[in-house]
Structures are given as C-alpha cells and as structure tokens.
Amino acid sequence: MRYLPIPSDFFAANRKNVSQRLEPGSVALVCSSYQMPRNGDQYYPYRQNSDFFYLTGIEQEKSLLLLAPDSLQPEYRELLFILRSTPKMEIWEGKKLTLQEASEISGIAQVYYLDELEGILDRLMAEMDGLYVNTSLIAAESKHPLSQDAMYAEKLRIRYPNQGYRSLQTILQALRLIKSDIEITLLREAIAITRETFLEVLQAIRPGNYEFEIEALIYQGFIRRRASGHAYEPIVASGANACYLHYTRNCARCQSGDLVLLDFGAEYANYAADLSRTIPVNGRYSKRQRELYDSVLRTFYYARSLMKPGITINQLNSEVGRWVQEEHVKLGLYTTGSIKAHQGENPLWHNFYMHGTSHFLGLDVHDVGTKDQVLQPGMVLTCEPGIYIADEGIGIRTENNILITSEGYVDLMENIPIEADDIEQRMHHT
Ligand SMILES: [Mn+2]
C-alpha cells in the first residue's frame, strides 16, 4: 500500500454499524470488485468496490464478506473469504494476502479461502432467515454485467430460492454519507496532496504547453505524494475546450491569452479530492476574464454560505440559480426583460451554467447520497459553480470540498488559492 495503514477499528466499527441495522436473523453478503478485462490477458487497474473497502480495508480481488450478527455460532458472525493463491499466480502477480494478513487489515478474526464459502454458507442459511445482497437500487445498475454483487446474488437466488432478499444499499449509503474522523483525515490528506500539486502547476505552466503536459505534471505530483493516482479522469481544458464539461482529451496547446480550466483530484487511501480552478495561461487574467472570474467567485462564496445542516442539494441549486441569474444580467448575457419573456423547460441561466452546484464526496468522487438528502454534520460535498460562454470561448469553474458541521461548514480547501490576485501572484508571467 502506498498510503499509511488505516486502523482496523475503523472497518470493524463500520461492520458493527451495518450489523446493528440488519433485520433480526438475517445474513449480509458483500463482494469485492470484479477484475475488469481489457484486452487479451490484460486487466484494467484494479480498484476495490468502495462498500467492500469501507467494511474490510481489503484491496484484493475475489474477496467476500459475510455478516450474520445473530448466528448462534459466534464464529459465523463475521467472516471474510479471500482467494487461495498458487505459486504460479504469485510468480506473475506477486504475493497475495495470507489469512493472517487479511485478518490484521480487516480486524476480522475468521478468515477463510473462497473455496470454503459454499459449505459455510449452506450451514449458515439453514439457521438464518433472509439475505442482504449489495446490489444497486437503480434498476439499470443492478443489471450491470460486471457487478460481482449482482452476479453472486443470481447464484444465491438459485441456491436458496426460499430466502427473502433485500439490498444492503440503503443501510450502506446512510452510513457512508456521514464521515467519521478517520475519513475526514484521509480526505484532508487527498486534499493536501491536490493542493501541493496545484501550487506546482501554478508555477510551471507556460504558454505553448500542451494540456497533456499539465496532466502529466499533476499525475507526477500525485503519485510522488503517495496518492494512488487521479480520483477521476482529470480535465485540463484550455480556451474554448472548457465549455465541454467533461473534456478529458487534454491534447490541445495552451495559448497565451487563454484560460485553462483544471478539474482534478488525488485519490488517497481510496478517498477522493475534487478541485477545480481556472487560471490564465500567461499569468494574467484579461479584463473580461477577470470580470467573469470574479462573478463565478461571488457565486461560489454565496453557494458556500448556504451550506449548513437542514438544506438539500436541490434547494441549494435553486437558490444558486436565482443568484446566478442576477450575475448573468450584470455581465450582459441577457436582460431582466428577456427572463420574463423566456419560455421553455429550462431557465435562461441554464444556457451558461448547465450543471449542479454540489455532489457528495468520499470514497467515490460522486459519492453516495441523493439531491434531496437533508445535509447533516459530517457530510462532505463539493461547491462548484461555473460559467460557460461558448460564443466567447470561455469556461470557468471554481470548486472546493466542504465539510458540513453543526455550526455550518468548514471549507477543507480554504488554503488553496482561489482569489484572482492570489492566483496571479503565484504564477510565472510572460
Ligand atoms: Mn466535482
């Protein structure tokens, strides 16, 4: 592991929280991620299923967790299964976890090899009533051909047709929404790595750089600091490319006089940072760029001020929409009159700001939680207003990561330069 070990107490507490919320007498089963085939005998880089990691800390493929808190046999209440490695497998892939190592990482006393699962499960199901599987509540996702949980649930339905089946997702999502102190520490580390890397990018960037050169610099900054890499595909979008919201081709040349929109974040111990900044390629914002930038920044401060317990992301989005509309009028993008005259499904401001202001953040960059979730202390979400004016070839977004507290919020990125003056001062000028 590149990251410093996480105490197994964290995973044990998460399992306990799940166990306490299960229907009496039931069993819960959670699978590791599927190993995604690429081509031939190649696989995509392995990333553990976030729920499985949250409950075990195990990052190895072909692992499975069983919880049966009400079993009369204490040794069956918490079971971890891992793959049985072979000398040939190890020659190619290196050492796999031993039973002892898996037990130390997860804090689970009873660890078995996967080939012992069926026998144990048969004995357990004779005693228990009801099975939780970790399949998605969204119909389309539950049919995902590569979800190990969905594939295993199909097998279970054949083997134990008379059991009641439930999804574990409601329980896990509610738990993952509220970050524990350890999780905040890990998120802060992902953010610190992202910050230090951003400061390097600010100094290094020059007119004529290719977007991919900046992407490379970011990756280097990340993995040098013990991140596993990017938490998501980084966006390095100069000039008009910034108007494509999910531009990840990163292959254009950054021209003097253009802005470059950076949306990137390190993944540390499987936790994601998510930062956006829009900076001038030559070190100085033009008058118009500065006018637009400061407008987005005002919206950012306004949106952030709304973040506190009691509000939902949906409510936040509509409040921000009203604010953005006034900003757009000030910028001359449309008039108050045209707002009144406008007819159509979407308000006029959607033409220049077409995404939401917030999403939850955690083990996944778009973490669990819906837009009608009422915010509570311990939740972490992004604040990311923007403006995209295709006619002017300008796209601007600023994004920080915000922790909700009982008093309101803490901005976990408050020490990352965001004011235009501050950004200019830290840049090389041409
Ligand atoms: Mn984001």
- Exposure of 232 by Cβ count < 10 A (0-12 exposed, 13-18 middle, 19+ buried)? middle
Q: Could you confirm whether 399 is annotated as catalytic?
A: yes
Could you report the per-residue pLDDT of 96-137, keeping only the tens digit for each? 999 999 999 999 999 999 999 999 999 999 989 999 999 887
- Decide if pLDDT at 142 tops 70: no
Is residue 430 domain-resident? no
What global pTM score does this model have?
Answer: 0.96
Residue 245 Cα to ligand 1 midpoint, Å, equals 11
One domain for residues 171 and 186: no
Q: Taking all residues of the chain, what is their mean pLDDT, rounded to a whole number?
A: 95
Is residue 186 domain-resident? yes
Is residue 362 domain-resident? yes
Q: Could you confirm whether 421 is annotated as catalytic?
A: no
One domain for residues 229 and 285: yes
Residue 361 Cα to ligand 1 midpoint, Å, equals 8
Adjacent-strand bridge partners of 397: 386
Residue 6 Cα to ligand 1 midpoint, Å, equals 26
C-alpha dist (Å) from residue 121 to 151, 348, 356: 17, 57, 44
Range of the domain at 161: 8-177
Candidates 54, 152, 388, 409; catalytic one: 388
Is residue 3 domain-resident? no
Domain count, the chain: 2
Residue 341 Cα to ligand 1 midpoint, Å, equals 33
Please report which confidence band the pLDDT of residue 169 belongs to, taking 50, 70 and 90 as the band edges: very high
One domain for residues 149 and 219: no
Residue 141 Cα to ligand 1 midpoint, Å, equals 22
One domain for residues 366 and 409: yes
Instruction: Give the model's pLDDT for residue 154.
Output: 87
One domain for residues 146 and 48: yes
The percent of residues above 90 in pLDDT, for the chain, comes to: 89
One domain for residues 117 and 254: no
C-alpha dist (Å) from residue 36 to 14, 191, 239, 292: 27, 28, 35, 42
Q: Could you confirm whether 359 is annotated as catalytic?
A: yes
Q: What span, in angstroms and rounded, lies between the C-alpha atoms of 31 and 363?
A: 16
Interior/surface letters 246-269, b for 16+ CB within 10 angstroms, e for the rest: ebeebebebeeebbbbbbbbbbbb
Which stretches of 259-397 are assigned E, i.e. beta strand? Answer: 259-264, 266-268, 271-272, 275-280, 380-383, 386-389, 394-397
- Decide if pLDDT at 218 tops 70: yes
- Decide if pLDDT at 143 tops 80: no
Domain with residue 366: its CATH number is: 3.90.230.10
